[in-house]
Amino acid sequence: MAASTLAAGRHRPSTLSGLTALVARVLFATLLFSAAGMGVGLLLGILGTVAWGAVRGSQIDMRNAYLHVAIPVAITFGVIAFFGSIYLELRARRTSQGR
C-alpha cells in the first residue's frame, strides 16, 4: 500500500516537517519584506529629509531618515508580510488537506 501511495504522488510529509517548513517560509518572507521595507523607507526618508532641509534652508540631520521613516516602514512591511504569509500558508495547507 505504501508503494502505491508513493507512486501516485500522494505521499504526505510528517506533521513536524510540514510545520517546520511552514515556519521557515513565514520567517523568510517576513525577513525579505522587512529588508525591502527598510530600503524603501530609507530612500523615502533620505529624499524627504533632503527636501525638508532645502525648504527650511537649514542643516539636515540624516538620523531622522532612519529613526522616523525607515524603521517604522520596515516594521510595518514586516508585520504585514508576517500575517499575510501566515494567512497564505494556512489557506494552502487547508486546501491541500481537503483534497
| Tens-place pLDDT, residues 68-81 | 999 999 999 999 99
Residue at 52 is within a domain: yes
| pLDDT greater than 60 at residue 3 | no
Residue at 13 is within a domain: no
- Dihedral in degrees, nearest 10, Cα atoms 15, 21, 26, 28: 170
Cell of 71: 524603521
Residue that is written with C-alpha cell 486546501 in the block:
95
Residue at 12 is within a domain: no
Residue at 17 is within a domain: no
Count the domains in the chain: 1
Residue at 38 is within a domain: yes
Average pLDDT, the chain: 87
Contact 59, 53 (CB under 8 A): yes
State which residues form the domain around 83.
Answer: 26-98
Residue at 19 is within a domain: no
Bigger pLDDT: 28 vs 3:
28
Residue that is written with C-alpha cell 542643516 in the block:
59
